[in-house]
Amino acid sequence: MYLSGYRSRNLLAALLLDANRAVSIERLIDVVWDQQPPGTARQQIQNRVGRLRALLGDSSTERIARAGGSYVLEVSEDKIDGLRFRGLCAEAEQARRQGQPERAANLLHRGLNLWHGAALQDVDSPALRGEAVRWEEARLRAIEMLVELEFSHQRHTAITADLRTWIQHYPYHEGLHCRLAEALHAGSRTAEALQVLQELKVRLARELGIDVGPGVHDLQRRLLGTTAETDEPAHLSRQAAEAIHRALTETTQALKVLSSAIANY
């Protein structure tokens, strides 16, 4: 079901986020109009709920019920991806604690595959921004748990494609970029790993005006060290070779500055 009006989408989002729980009309007014509701807000909420009911039709699995001064979206939990995701993550955490890493990883994969885009990406309500942040944080926790599980069992190659997808969604997340670089390095793709880190450094500098943290610098130095120790020359793409050259140049310049500072101390 797709709603073209953003106010109706906000209303439905509020009911879905608290599925099977009463949501007060005052809360719905705040979600739909923020701090500037019209004088007819309560009547408009009733009208919009009526239209939502018509869209749901005579479904036996979901309906919007009135409960005093509130509305309740009654729906089976397996019909809502968010609730399914939360349940799968809880099962995964339990499996991990019980020493079942493969089952935990499988559950996390299933949960993360339910995501399509950002949390509440079609919803524009200041009152729901905190909810969107909380869902994104839950998604990141699931990603981080899955990566740890795969890394702890040396399944670096299995997680590489997923990591590439996730850094597209979180382009400034240093931890995920480092994990992708480590996974590529474990698969003997060190040149690509260095390129990932270099692209992150350029992106942060260009778009946010900041440098990467010490963890990225440390990993870059470690990878450069392993590249230098390789007996046979690697067959690199032009982009990968340029990434290594830039990284080596930056490291050399940093060492020169440090040496000069020590000499003048």
- pLDDT of amino acid 111: 98
Tokens of 95: 């499996």
Residue (of 166, 159, 212, 201) closest to 184 by Cα position: 159
Q: Which of 76-80, 87-91, 158-162 has the lowest mean pLDDT?
A: 76-80
- pLDDT of amino acid 231: 44
152-160: list long-range contacts, CB under 8 Å, 24+ apart. Answer: 152/101, 153/101, 153/102, 154/186, 156/182, 156/183, 156/186, 156/187, 157/183, 157/186, 157/187, 159/183, 160/184, 160/187
Query: For 119-173, what is the HEC assignment?
Result: CCCCCCCHHHHHHHHHHHHHHHHHHHHHHHHHHHCCCHHHHHHHHHHHHHHCCCC
- pLDDT of amino acid 256: 52
Could you tell me the pLDDT band of residue 225, with boundaries at 50, 70 and 90? confident
| Residue whose entry in the numeric block shows the structure tokens 């079609």 | 122
Q: Which of 22-26, 64-68, 174-178 has the lowest mean pLDDT?
A: 64-68
pLDDT digits (tens, 9 = 90+) for 94-150: 999 999 999 999 999 999 999 999 999 989 999 999 999 999 999 999 999 999 999
Could you tell me the pLDDT band of residue 250, with boundaries at 50, 70 and 90? low
Could you tell me the pLDDT band of residue 243, with boundaries at 50, 70 and 90? low
Tokens of 239: 């982009």
pLDDT surpasses 70 at 234: no
User: What mean pLDDT do residues 66-84 have?
Assistant: 91
Tokens of 114: 């339910």
- pLDDT of amino acid 226: 73
- pLDDT of amino acid 9: 93
- pLDDT of amino acid 236: 43
Tokens of 98: 């019980």
Residue 23 β-bridge partners:
71
pLDDT surpasses 60 at 255: no
Helix (H, G, I), strand (E, B) or coil at 112: helix
- pLDDT of amino acid 5: 84
pLDDT surpasses 50 at 91: yes
Mean pLDDT across the chain: 87
237-240: list long-range contacts, CB under 8 Å, 24+ apart. Answer: 237/191, 239/195, 240/191, 240/192, 240/194, 240/195
pLDDT surpasses 70 at 179: yes
Tokens of 101: 């890493």
pLDDT surpasses 60 at 244: no
Residue scoring higher pLDDT (247 or 204): 204
- pLDDT > 70: what percent of the chain? 83
Q: Which domains does the chain show, CATH number per domain?
A: 6-77 (1.10.10.10)
- pLDDT of amino acid 56: 81
CA 191 from centroid of its chain's CA atoms: 26
